[in-house]
Structure 1
Amino acid sequence: MKQGIYAACLWGLLMGLFGCKEDAKETAAATAPSGPRTFNVDGFVVKHRSLDQKINTTGNLIANETVQVRPERAGKLITLNFQESSSVKSGQLLAKIEDSDLLAQRSRLLVNLDLAQKEVARGKELLKIQGISAEEMDRLDNRVDDINAEIKIIDIQIEKSKILAPFSGVLGLRQVSQGAYVTPNDIIIDLQQVNPIKLEFDVPERYISQVKTNQPLEFTVVGSTRTFQAKVYAIGTEIAPTTRTFKVRATATNNEGLLKPGQFAKVNLVTGRDDKAILVPTDAIIPVLEGKQVYIARNGRAIASLVETGERLANEVELLEGVQVGDTIITSGILSLSDGVLIKLNKVVESKNTQL
């Protein structure tokens, strides 16, 4: 009797467990997805924008004119007529070499010249009465000419004893001391003209047709929050084979002396304006092995498209290829997407035609 009761209980327990399993299968079947996953994303509708075409590069400031001031003749430096880091005018006396020996030679030549001129005067009187020959008279004249030539040579050497500023500018640091013996190989001081000041920078060769003389540009330097203005005045004629760039030079006014030769500069050169530019949010760009790509929302799917980028702004990137006006670019959840997956657009933002 007891065995029958135990058998009935066991059978009921087995039937209960089997029924729970069937219910679980039915519940799982009811909650299982019915197809591929759909991703919820946001989009950005592409429209034409107005965009300044800019070249962003870096460069260095250089002096408008620069020279290492050296003596033209050897000798003792007897005068230093300047202060370091001071401004000087063109032709201003900076230093002087000992010239007392040259002055003494000049005095002697002047005495000889006076005597030679007197001999010429007497010779002319004698020539009238045939007291001397014409050849002797020529010798006396030539003597005067020779002395005059020697005086000119001495005058040139005396003038070379004066070390003058070749142009107006700012002096650097003195390299010699008063009383030193100097030669034409010795540097007295550096002189630079820094107003106006030059800006030299390299531009990629793809922009060679867009850079013109007289183009305005803006630049900034380290240590200043100001934006300075300059204008292109010269364009290099060669492309560097290693960097594939060419050199450009511009000039900027430097009335306040804030700009110094050698300073590093960030350059922004506007080459034109594109009223049909395409810009998308920076977050929509994905780096891939082939370059860069975006996802375009098309017929409920995410379509991968390789793109070529151009100008970079604060939060946007110009696209040159791979996207057309009217396309909806996916801007959220892009790292979870793959080409052709199903998507659902939640929020769509339209591009505003603002000028940049």
Structure 2
Amino acid sequence: MVLKPKIKKNISMKKLGFILILGVVVSCSETDSNDLEGLKEQRKTLIKEFKEYSKEYSVALNKLDSSINAHPKNKEAKVEIKKIPITIKKVEVKTFEHFFEVHGNVEVVENAALFSEVPGIVRQIHVAEGEQVKKGQVLITLDAAQLESGIKELKTGLELAEKVFEKQKSLWDKKIGSEIQFLESKNNKEALEQRLITLNEQLDMYKVRAPFDGIVDQINPKLGEPAGGQLPVARVMNLNKVFLEGDVSEAYISSVKKNSYVEVKFPSLGESVKARVKRVGNFINPANRTFKVKVEFNNPNGKYKPNQLAILKIRDYKSDNALVIPSRIIQQDRQERNYVYTFVNDGSVNRVKKLELELGNSYKDNVEIIAGLDSSTVLIDKGSKSVQEGDAVQIK
């Protein structure tokens, strides 16, 4: 195989260019030797050009050595070709997901501070802090002795009114007596019945009840102390279901939807749970340009506590059967074009080939490839920063 004119021409042109640059640099240094900064800049340029041309010569020399070694008329000892050791990485086809993180605090869906509807002295505390209670269960009873006495008197009066009504009704059914007497007895009985209902409702206001199934977290007053007013007497919460709210940047407003997948991480416990976005806020806070996202999830055995710090890892992008490669092997040239290196066999040795890429989303150490690769491509991994297109390589 003879030397290709194209290679010879390229080398000659490179050599000529380098000589011309060298002549210009030397000429300038002689005519303007007093310009120190200029001389330093010329030195940098010369070193840079020297490295580039040295690399070109090295690649061309390796190619010529390969041609010489493969030539059928070559009876001499084979010229040793310098091969750069590399490792390889196959393009992966898999589901690619992108996440972003926001912080939030655990809050319970059902969490109630209980107030007494009427002021009074605590007569009885029926439960202890930490105790499980049912909806409607009495927690605290206030002293209602005066009201209870009034109810007792009313019941006595109602018993008499009922007897009088029965007498008047019996007489009226026999057409004895006046209709007015019958109606007065009926009205008196019904008024006392309604009054008793009202007083019983008032009496129930002296009892503080659980608004839902849950656990008693606080009992504030002690037996014999006054209750009522603006201070809560108890707190009940249901720890079986909790939620988180996070402030999300408006940059994600088009990608975060209701039912978006979320991984909730608890740094203090070293664990996480899977959840879904329950609600996406419609208001953007002008102070920090964020909107609210609410995530609900089950809380078995009350493991997660109110105000516990959590991290919401929200998925804002998913692509099935995506082409994925490690970000470490992607490089960028001076024109900010992204590329990777693969290799092809020229008949005697594997040589580096450059592939330009169109990148998609990246997450952690992986990047989705939109264009430039296919699933069969094998890429140079370790050693990719030490090679250039045309270099001879050896797979380790």
After TM superposition, the score normalised by the length of structure 1 is 0.67
Aligned twin of 1:312 = 363
Q: Cα deviations across residues 17-54 of structure 1 (Å, max 9, x unaligned)?
A: xxxxxxxxxxxxxxx97944339899999968544323
Greater CA drift, 175-184 or 186-195: 175-184
**2:307 & 2:173 partners in 1: Cα distance?**
74
Aligned twin of 2:233 = 188
CA contact (8 A) 1:46 1:325 kept: no
**1:37 alignment partner, SS class:** helix
Aligned twin of 1:53 = 97
Aligned twin of 1:65 = 110
**1:179 alignment partner, SS class:** coil
**1:105 & 1:147 partners in 2: Cα distance?**
12
Q: Aligned-pair distance for 1:348?
A: 8.6
Q: Aligned-pair distance for 1:264?
A: 1.8
Structure 1 residues 166, 63: CA separation in 2 closer, same or farther (over 3 Å shift)? same
Match of 1:108 among 123, 135, 153: 153
Superposed CA RMSD in Å reads 4.3
CA contact (8 A) 1:46 1:280 kept: no
**1:34 & 1:120 partners in 2: Cα distance?**
117
**1:83 & 1:324 partners in 2: Cα distance?**
68
Aligned twin of 1:255 = 300
> Residue 230 of structure 2 aligns to which amino acid in structure 1?
N
Q: Aligned-pair distance for 1:69?
A: 1.4
Q: Aligned-pair distance for 1:186?
A: 2.4
CA contact (8 A) 1:61 1:261 kept: yes
CA contact (8 A) 2:329 2:340 kept: no
Match of 2:319 among 270, 273, 277: 273
More helix by share: 2
> Residue 220 of structure 2 aligns to which amino acid in structure 1?
Q
**2:218 alignment partner, SS class:** coil
CA contact (8 A) 2:331 2:339 kept: no
Structure 1 residues 61, 128: CA separation in 2 closer, same or farther (over 3 Å shift)? closer
Q: How does 1:213-232 map to 2 (within 5 A)?
A: 213-232=258-277
Q: Aligned-pair distance for 1:265?
A: 1.5
Aligned twin of 1:135 = 180
After TM superposition, the score normalised by the length of structure 2 is 0.61
Greater CA drift, 173-182 or 202-211: 202-211
Q: Cα deviations across residues 318-351 of structure 1 (Å, max 9, x unaligned)?
A: 688xx85499999749xxxxxxxxx77869999x
**1:189 & 1:324 partners in 2: Cα distance?**
65
**2:220 alignment partner, SS class:** coil
Q: Cα deviations across residues 220-245 of structure 1 (Å, max 9, x unaligned)?
A: 11211222222333333333344444
Structure scoring higher RCO (CA < 8 A, sep ≥ 6) equals: 1
**1:167 alignment partner, SS class:** coil
Q: Aligned-pair distance for 1:297?
A: 7.9
Q: Aligned-pair distance for 1:206?
A: 4.5
Q: Aligned-pair distance for 1:161?
A: 1.7
Aligned length: 299
Structure 1 residues 33, 190: CA separation in 2 closer, same or farther (over 3 Å shift)? closer
**2:129 alignment partner, SS class:** coil
**2:300 alignment partner, SS class:** coil
Match of 1:77 among 122, 128, 141: 122
**1:138 & 1:93 partners in 2: Cα distance?**
40
- The answer to whether residue 51 in structure 2 is matched with residue 37 in structure 1 is yes
> Residue 100 of structure 2 aligns to which amino acid in structure 1?
N
CA contact (8 A) 1:43 1:345 kept: no
- Structure 1, unpaired ranges of 5+: 1-31, 287-292, 299-304, 334-342, 351-356
- Structure 2, unpaired ranges of 5+: 1-45, 56-83, 342-355
Structure 1 residues 222, 280: CA separation in 2 closer, same or farther (over 3 Å shift)? closer
Q: Cα deviations across residues 191-225 of structure 1 (Å, max 9, x unaligned)?
A: 11111222323444444454444444322112112
**2:265 & 2:173 partners in 1: Cα distance?**
83
CA contact (8 A) 1:44 1:349 kept: no
- The answer to whether residue 162 in structure 2 is matched with residue 117 in structure 1 is yes
Structure 1 residues 349, 119: CA separation in 2 closer, same or farther (over 3 Å shift)? farther
Structure 1 residues 259, 128: CA separation in 2 closer, same or farther (over 3 Å shift)? closer
**2:90 & 2:337 partners in 1: Cα distance?**
12
Match of 1:240 among 285, 292, 304: 285
Greater CA drift, 99-108 or 123-132: 123-132
